[in-house]
Amino acid sequence: MTLETNRADLSETRIVTDTPTPLSPGQCRLRIDHFALTTNNITYGVFGDMLRYWEVFPTEELNSGWGRIPTWGFAEVIESECDELPSGERLFGFLPMSSETIITPGKIDDRGVGDIAPHRVGLAGAYNRYQRCAADPVYDAEREPQQMVLYPLFFTSFVIDDFLLDNEDFGAAQAIVSSASSKTAIGFAQLAKHRGLTSVGLTSADNRSFVEALNVYSEVVCYDEFPSIKTIASVYVDIAGNQDLLRSVHSHLEGVLHHSMVVGNTNWNHKATDASALVAPQPEFLFAPSQIAKRTKEWGRDTLDARIGSAWSNYSEWTDSWIEFSHAIGEDQVLSVYETLQNGHPNPKLGYICSLPKETVK
């Protein structure tokens, strides 16, 4: 059982029952126990063609116009034709919204395994790599929900902060962050606060009290109050993807906006009404794997893992003070969560854990 999405209209979904497929030599069948759904998964759909997310889990009907949005979750090897990855292994990584999937293991070591299936060749390593839970230093069986929902987003938060550090914050005195209630934005704000960088969180009126209560932003501003933002040297971290807001922020900070970073698109279905020319600078898309590859070369994998691990440990413990987990089991509940996220009105306190067990097949 798999949830598929219309690539041209992310609001349209369908549930399909996959054709049973025998394993080829070297392959493994994974039972997907549960996966997280966040607005970040909607972003994967929005940027699916540009960043090749649609290629990770191809549909059985090629060129059908339907696609499988990747998620992050946990799976167990239930059938193996690969001696180095036996049945019973628990893995964490990129998974489809399905009850099971097949991978072709390669580049196997004690810590993880890559999928070397032909359709995944050339994809970013972070999206092809599965962590072996038994050897993963951040894994805690009791905290799988935190790892599924928060770790991939915090990973992006870490990269945002590190990219700015790597560029000396572009000389900015403040970082302005849209979609401040999103978990990616919250992670970045916590890191920025820790190192003393002023952050201004832009959010909706409905989410303002929640964002303020987090106490990680230096200032919280509602979207319609953006003119109150100080006109000092700034960087803009755009997670909302709202083009009207982007133009307004650029215009307000004309001459003092030193860098504009595109990270996400939580407002993916917003229709821009402002067609005016965008005030400089030109927004630049942040592709997290590129910055990670740079740091891996400079620092080495062990040092990079240690830095991310330390930051994650502090962040994960702090999130226990506000996050709540909601479990969706079966196609109806999972579809309901997806619709909530793609409509752009999720409860920011909630982390959604989903599963499509085989027994729900109709």
**What pLDDT score does 361 carry?**
36
**What pLDDT score does 91 carry?**
98
Rounded to whole angstroms, the Cα distance separating 225 from 221 reads 6
**What pLDDT score does 265 carry?**
65
Strands of 219-222's sheet in order across: 219-222, 198-203, 174-177, 234-238, 257-262, 284-285
Q: How many other C-beta atoms are found inside a 10 Å radius of the C-beta of residue 120?
A: 20
**What pLDDT score does 359 carry?**
46
φ/ψ (deg, to 5) at 128: -105, -5
**What pLDDT score does 272 carry?**
64
DSSP result, 303-318: HHHHHHHHHHHHHHHH
Kindly state which CATH superfamily the domain 151-288 is placed in.
NAD(P)-binding Rossmann-like Domain (3.40.50.720)
Instruction: Please list the rounded mean pLDDT of every run of 10 residues in the chain (362 residues).
Output: 94 91 95 94 88 90 88 97 95 96 93 92 85 90 95 95 97 97 96 97 96 97 94 96 92 97 69 77 90 94 91 94 96 95 87 81 36
Rounded to whole angstroms, the Cα distance separating 148 from 43 reads 16
Bridge partners (DSSP) listed for residue 6: 9, 66
**What pLDDT score does 141 carry?**
94
Domain layout of the chain by residue ranges: 2-136+323-360, 151-288
**What pLDDT score does 316 carry?**
93
Closest CA to 238 of 219, 267, 263, 203: 263
CATH fold group of domain 2-136+323-360: Quinone Oxidoreductase; Chain A, domain 1 (3.90.180)
Beta strand ranges found along 40-182 (DSSP E): 66-67, 71-80, 90-95, 100-103, 105-106, 112-115, 129-132, 174-177
Degrees, nearest 5: CA angle 53-55-57: 95
**What pLDDT score does 360 carry?**
37
Question: Global pTM?
Answer: 0.88
Rounded to whole angstroms, the Cα distance separating 202 from 185 reads 10
Closest CA to 130 of 84, 183, 193, 182: 84
Rounded to whole angstroms, the Cα distance separating 227 from 242 reads 16
Longest dimension (CA), the chain: 62
